[in-house]
Amino acid sequence: MDFVQKETYTMEDLLAVMERLRAPDGCPWDREQTHESIRQCFLEETYEALEAIDNKDVELLEEELGDVLFQVVFHAQLEKEKGTFSFEDVTDGVVRKMILRHPHVFGDVLVNGTGDVLRNWDAIKKSSKHQKSQTEVLQSVARTLPALMRAQKLRHKAASTEPFTAQDCLCEAGEALAGLSSLSGRTKEEQKALLGQLLFAAAGLADALGVEAEESLTRTSDAFLAEFAEKENTK
């Protein structure tokens, strides 16, 4: 397969590069890969893009978004070779989904602010995925999410049928802390359960306060690292 060098490349060129890499005479490493073998690459590239956003590094963000896009193209190519779906199918699907979930933009639905948009989005998503109960909605939250992020999403979605307040979460945390204050005699499993309850309460508190638990913990971890480094440098 010939490939023409250009000054500027397009999406079509990226797809052509991917096919060339996976061709019989392409790259041996790329040809050996599977969804499972490059799963971690997808995760790492996504986190690197997030770091660029956090650092407000626009040039790095441009590069990292390209790396994330390449991962999408890679996974789509693997399925295209199996005859299941292609990148064009992925594109078609997400465009249709966005049109469906934005009836206030592409239809005649009227909304009064972001709250209405989010409520419509959740209702349309629940209908399109044929979720008949709130339990099914909660079960759709990916288990592969970071644990703290998953806990907050579960609590947020559960709140539509079981609302809670910040004070409720503080009480939950207090109960877990009371249990953890007397660790003697407790098994490792009991300790893990109490710690999990404390973290789950913290995730709920973050949601009640309208902040991201994952981001809050990241900031605190960064502050700890900076303080630790400063203390070590002054010794």
Neighbour tally for 33: CB within 10 Å: 17
Residue 30 · residue 22 · CB < 8 Å: yes
Query: Position of tokens 């990241």?
Result: 218
Residue 48 · residue 67 · CB < 8 Å: yes
pLDDT tens, position by position, for the chain (235 residues)?
A: 567 788 899 999 999 999 999 999 999 999 999 999 999 999 999 999 999 999 999 999 999 999 999 999 999 999 999 999 999 999 999 999 999 999 999 999 999 999 999 999 989 998 998 999 999 999 999 999 999 999 999 999 999 899 999 999 999 999 999 998 887 778 899 999 999 999 999 999 999 999 999 999 999 999 999 999 999 998 7
Domains recognised in the chain with CATH numbers: 11-85 (1.10.287.1080), 144-233 (1.10.287.1080)
Helix-strand-coil split of the chain, %, nearest 5: 70, 0, 30
pTM of the model: 0.78
DSSP state of 8: S
